[in-house]
Chains A and B, each alone.
Chain A
Amino acid sequence: MSFLRRKFYSYYLNPRIEFPPRFDRREYAFILFNEDTMHRHISFSSRNDILSYLKMNVPAHAYYSSAYYRHPSAERMMDKEWMGADLIFDLDADHLPNARNLSYEEALKEVKEELKKLLSFLMEDFGFGERDIKLYFSGGRGYHCHVCNEKVLELGGQERREVVDYITARGLDIKKVMGEKNLPAEKFSGRFSIKTIKINPNQGGWQGRIARAIIDFFKRIKNMEGEDAIKELVKIEGIGEKTARAIYDALTDERMKRIEAGLLDQSTEFRKIAKPLVTKLAVSLHSEADEPVTADIKRLIRLPGSLHGKTGLRVTGIDIKKIDDFDPLTDAVVFGENSVKVNVLKKMEITMMENHFKIEKGEAKLPEYLAVFLVARGLAEVRPP
């Protein structure tokens, strides 16, 4: 038995599995060590059966279906009879535009920011409560957010895609959302009507979000030194130096008051400014070209409490209130301190269990938790005893 499999076995002798709701209606799937194929269409009628399976087979990866079925172990989708599915968001470092250049720890931090944005959409806009939402560290490079609520169970693929589009701002029409209006001309300003946009930071949905971001943005610009403000403004696509200067110079106290009251003029510039703000507010859930997996009504998701074969970390639940405190390299670690002799393949630095390690290439004695992590990630080897 390989080192990793031995360690996983010791965990699965007495694992802390969190069973999904309606666990007996789910399809389960496993990938075993030294195998590429997935064992699918497995179902369990008791929690104990799941536990024995894990102990007997010691999988490298364990999954269950977000959907629940009348016949979860049927081989053909058609025969399974779909009954509903949880709404699951998969936030992964691989979906971030700059993921490649980040270390494991940095990448997870970035994903956590996305997770927080997602939560704000789910709770404020969609109105889900803490009871409906479960958060998990995926064991790999991301977080999973499960929404388990009666109302969403039967949403179809197309409807789920609308939810995803809302959160990622795909198809958002700034013009429409922000309601451009021709206000009647004010006194003294001539006979022409001016194009004005009325925004309201207290509104719900994207309206309010964009409104708040715009007001904050102008406040920030106003508080900047002239040259810094111009530099910031020309970063925006379509705004040149001349326009930037004009915008900055026009930000008088009086104008600022109007903006804070939600009145914006010069609608085109405003749209240019709003665009990058929307990108910042939206959640990066998937890259442009990808099909959002959240919209998939029959996908597989990692079993909470199981171990991730590529890290040895545990798929771990997170308390919504304590997101900031959650540290995957401490809280998702299940292995102990016993020292293990390994052959490290690459020099590196890493913080795990609140200990900072500086590791050189070559033979080393490391605590078991770190040894498992490195071996699973392919950064170290253990010679068979």
Chain B
Amino acid sequence: MKEAKEWVKEQKVSIEEILFDDLYERARERGVERVRQAVDEGIVREVAMVSEADCIMEIFSYPIARMIVASVESDYLVRRYALAEAKKAYESMKNEEGSFIDYLAREMGVEVSGNEIYFTDYLKYAPTWDINWKLVNREMRKGYVLLSKSEVARLIQEAIRKKIYNELAFAFAPPEVKKVFKDEILGIKNKVIFKEEKRKVGEVKEEGFPPCIKNLIAAVKAGINVPHVGRFTLVTFLNAVGMDIEEILKIFASSPDFNAEKTRYQIEHITGRISGTVYATPKCDTIRTWGLCYPDEYCRNIRHPLFYYRRRARK
């Protein structure tokens, strides 16, 4: 695969050829498939590659998929696609040997040597609001953080996702793309709209929120810098009561160092959209040790903020 990529780089194939030449028919089909898989399954599946031609088609399908994504002009799709491609890379990193990971890391500009990664890159890509990923709980020596192989792969997944997202967020596809893939683009667009609609669910009764949560929301909205654990508590809580990502994001939008892309990623991570693990809302005890508990009269006998909400929201 690596060699094939080098090979393709040396060939000067024009966009016209890729879009119109019969030779690349299979690459075009696979390109559409990549985007569809991203939308439907959230991951681009690997395909069996037997011959060299398979390899080459696979490689050409990638720029095609990207052009299609850019043509749909939906931020949701760009995000979903970037994540799906990054997940694919993660899967293949798990199966391939170490040299492939090193190769990908270098492509992403991440400084990796063996299972060690330079701490600035680590901080850029690690979900450090998770206690397991917090730098202080990691073994670090001379600037390099020691990780397991799958953890390295996980960081590179995030580097890839970020890179693809940044490249596609403001990209324009050549107008021919819209013509060649007219029907496919329309189909994908409809699906994307449908998916986005579906996420808007349930009614959340903010009056029933416990004081700790109300306080955090007020602080975030007022633009006060809220510590990690506070954000974490807030996101897990809001997710648990059924708020969708867009709504949660809106609350954070007035935060002083608000970065939509990063915040969204954090929210998606905490709520299990990326890692598959949904983080639980911390117990009152924990919230108290963080100094974020401001109990009111209803907090008596309450041990978990979600119980508070369930009890009060019913009325």
Binding site for B on A (CB under 8 A): 124-128, 151-152, 155-159, 161-163, 165-166, 169-173, 176-177, 203-207, 289, 291
Does B128 interact with chain A (Cβ within 8 Å)? yes
Q: Is the CB of A207 within 8 A of B139?
A: yes
Q: Is the CB of A172 within 8 A of B137?
A: yes
* CB-CB nearest in chain B for A177: B137
Q: Is the CB of A171 within 8 A of B140?
A: no
**29 A-B contact pairs sorted by A residue (CB < 8 Å):** A125-B141, A126-B140, A126-B142, A126-B143, A127-B141, A128-B143, A151-B118, A151-B120, A155-B123, A159-B120, A159-B123, A162-B135, A163-B119, A165-B134, A165-B135, A165-B136, A166-B136, A171-B131, A171-B137, A173-B137, A176-B131, A176-B137, A204-B139, A204-B142, A205-B138, A205-B140, A205-B141, A205-B146, A289-B291
Q: Is the CB of B123 within 8 A of A162?
A: yes
Q: Is the CB of B120 within 8 A of A162?
A: no
Binding site for A on B (CB under 8 A): 118-120, 123-124, 128, 131-132, 134-144, 146, 225, 228, 257, 259, 291
CA distance A128 to B119 in the complex (A): 11
Q: Is the CB of A158 within 8 A of B257?
A: yes
CA distance A205 to B144 in the complex (A): 10
Measured between beta carbons, the chain A residues less than 8 angstroms from B131 are 171, 173, 176
Measured between beta carbons, the chain A residues less than 8 angstroms from B143 are 125-128
Q: Is the CB of B136 within 8 A of A204?
A: no
> Contact partner of B257 among A127, A151, A156, A176, CB < 8 A?
A156
> Contact partner of A205 among B118, B120, B139, B291, CB < 8 A?
B139
Q: Is the CB of A204 within 8 A of B128?
A: no
CA distance A203 to B142 in the complex (A): 12
> A162-B135, A291-B225 are contacts. A127–B123 as well, Cβ < 8 Å?
no
Measured between beta carbons, the chain A residues less than 8 angstroms from B134 are 162, 165, 171, 173
Measured between beta carbons, the chain B residues less than 8 angstroms from A125 are 140-143
- Additional pairs, 18, CB under 8 Å, beyond known A127-B142, A166-B140, A169-B136: A128-B143, A152-B120, A158-B128, A158-B228, A159-B124, A161-B228, A162-B123, A162-B128, A162-B135, A163-B135, A170-B136, A171-B131, A171-B136, A172-B137, A173-B131, A204-B139, A204-B141, A205-B139
* CB-CB nearest in chain A for B128: A162
Measured between beta carbons, the chain A residues less than 8 angstroms from B141 are 124-125, 127, 204-205
* CB-CB nearest in chain A for B145: A205
Q: Is the CB of B119 within 8 A of A204?
A: no
Measured between beta carbons, the chain A residues less than 8 angstroms from B124 are 159
CA distance A155 to B144 in the complex (A): 16
Q: Is the CB of A126 within 8 A of B146?
A: no
Q: How far is the CB of B151 from chain A (nearest CB, A)?
A: 14
Measured between beta carbons, the chain A residues less than 8 angstroms from B291 are 289
Q: How far is the CB of B230 from chain A (nearest CB, A)?
A: 12
Measured between beta carbons, the chain A residues less than 8 angstroms from B146 are 204-205
Q: How far is the CB of A147 from chain B (nearest CB, A)?
A: 11
Q: How far is the CB of B134 from chain A (nearest CB, A)?
A: 5
Measured between beta carbons, the chain B residues less than 8 angstroms from A152 are 120
Measured between beta carbons, the chain B residues less than 8 angstroms from A173 are 131, 134, 137
* CB-CB nearest in chain B for A123: B142
Measured between beta carbons, the chain B residues less than 8 angstroms from A162 are 123, 128, 134-136
Measured between beta carbons, the chain B residues less than 8 angstroms from A166 are 135-136, 140
Measured between beta carbons, the chain B residues less than 8 angstroms from A176 are 131-132, 137
Q: How far is the CB of B269 from chain A (nearest CB, A)?
A: 14
CA distance A157 to B228 in the complex (A): 12
> A126-B119, A152-B120 are contacts. A157–B137 as well, Cβ < 8 Å?
no
Measured between beta carbons, the chain B residues less than 8 angstroms from A161 are 228
